[in-house]
C-alpha cells in the first residue's frame, strides 16, 4: 500500500481514537460555516481539519474503505504527491461549497466523505468501464456509478430530506474533482505541448531563406535524448508549470538545452 494512503488511513483512525477517548475535537476542528469567515478572527483551518473527524465507527469505516478502494488505483496512476494534492483539493472544495450554501450555520460538518467522493470521480474518469458492485451485489460500471451517486446527492441535498448528512459537501467534492481533472489537466497538457513546441523550435513564423546546395557533407544531426531522459523532460516541464523557470537547477537547464538542440537538428 502506498505511503500516502497508509498515512491518511492512520491519521483518520488515530484521530478517531482520540475522539473516542473523550477529547472535544469536533468543536475545535470541525467545519462550522459560521466560524470559518467570522470577523475579526476567521478560523480557516476548519476548511481542512474537518476531513479527519468522524461521528461514528461506521462513518469512519465507510470512508476508510472507500479511500482504500478508490485511492489505490488513482494513486498508482498519479503518484503520491499528485494524489494528496487532489485529495485535499476535493476536501477543500467540498468545504467551500458547504459554507457557500449555509454561511451562517453553526452545525459542524465532519468526515472525509467530500474528498472520498472526489476520489470516486477520479476513479470513474480513469477507469470508466471498471465494474463496481453496488451494495456488494449489483454490478455497475464506474462511470454510471459516479453519475448515479452524484444525482442522488444532488436531489437529496436539494430536498433537505436527510438533514444529518452534508449532501452538498459530497457533491462539492465530486464537482471539484471533475472540474480539476477536466479543466486544469487539459490546460496543463496544452501548456506542456506549447513548451515542447517552443524548445523544439517548431515555429511556423520562422521562415528561413532557401540555401544553396553545399558540396561538403553535412554534420550528422544531434540525436534526441535517450528514452530515459524523456521522462525527465516531462518532469521538468511539470516543474516549470508549478514553480516557474527560476526553480530549475543547472542540471535541469542543461538537460532542457540538450533536448532543444536534439529536436532542432542542424540549422
Task: Give me the pLDDT at residue 30, please.
Answer: 92
pTM of the predicted model, to two decimals? Answer: 0.71
pLDDT tens readout for residues 63-107: 999 999 999 999 988 889 989 999 999 999 999 999 998 888 899
Cell of 216: 561538403
Q: Is pLDDT of 261 > 50?
A: yes
How confident is the model over 111-135, as pLDDT tens digits?
A: 999 999 999 999 998 888 888 887 7
The whole-number average pLDDT for the span 177-194 is: 77
Instruction: Match domain 3-182 to its CATH number in 1.20.1540.10, 1.10.10.10, 3.40.50.11270, 1.20.1440.230.
Output: 1.20.1540.10
pLDDT score recorded for residue 250: 77
Quick one: pLDDT band at residue 166, thresholds 50, 70, 90?
confident
* CB atoms near residue 133 (< 10 Å): 10
Residue 209 has pLDDT above 60, yes or no: no
31-40 pLDDT, tens digit per residue, is: 999 999 888 8
Domain ranges of the chain: 3-182, 221-267
How confident is the prediction for the chain on average, in pLDDT?
A: 79
Amino acid at each position: 500500500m502506498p505511503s500516502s494512503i497508509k498515512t491518511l488511513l492512520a491519521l483518520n483512525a488515530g484521530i478517531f481514537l482520540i475522539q473516542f477517548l473523550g477529547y472535544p475535537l469536533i468543536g475545535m476542528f470541525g467545519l462550522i460555516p459560521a466560524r470559518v469567515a467570522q470577523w475579526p478572527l476567521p478560523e480557516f483551518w476548519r476548511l481542512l481539519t474537518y476531513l479527519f473527524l468522524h461521528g461514528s465507527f461506521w462513518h469512519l469505516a465507510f470512508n476508510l474503505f472507500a479511500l482504500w478502494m478508490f485511492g489505490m488505483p488513482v494513486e498508482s496512476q498519479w503518484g503520491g504527491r499528485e494524489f494528496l494534492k487532489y485529495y485535499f483539493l476535493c476536501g477543500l472544495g467540498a468545504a467551500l461549497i458547504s459554507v457557500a450554501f449555509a454561511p451562517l450555520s453553526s452545525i459542524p460538518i465532519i468526515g472525509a466523505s467530500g474528498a472520498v467522493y472526489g476520489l470516486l470521480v477520479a476513479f470513474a474518469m480513469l477507469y470508466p468501464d471498471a465494474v463496481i458492485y453496488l451494495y456488494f451485489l449489483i454490478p455497475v460500471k464506474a462511470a454510471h456509478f459516479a453519475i448515479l451517486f452524484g444525482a442522488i446527492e444532488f436531489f437529496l441535498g436539494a430536498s433537505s430530506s436527510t438533514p444529518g448528512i452534508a449532501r452538498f459537501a459530497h457533491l462539492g467534492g465530486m464537482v471539484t474533482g471533475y472540474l480539476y481533472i477536466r479543466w486544469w489537466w487539459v490546460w496543463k497538457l496544452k501548456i506542456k505541448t506549447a513548451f515542447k513546441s517552443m524548445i523544439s523550435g517548431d515555429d511556423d513564423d520562422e521562415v528561413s531563406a532557401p540555401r544553396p546546395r553545399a558540396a561538403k557533407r553535412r554534420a550528422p544531426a544531434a540525436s534526441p535524448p535517450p528514452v530515459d531522459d524523456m521522462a525527465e523532460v516531462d518532469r521538468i516541464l511539470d516543474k516549470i508549470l508549478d514553480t516557474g523557470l527560476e526553480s530549475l537547477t543547472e542540471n535541469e537547464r542543461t538537460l532542457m538545452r540538450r533536448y532543444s538542440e536534439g529536436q532542432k537538428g542542424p540549422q
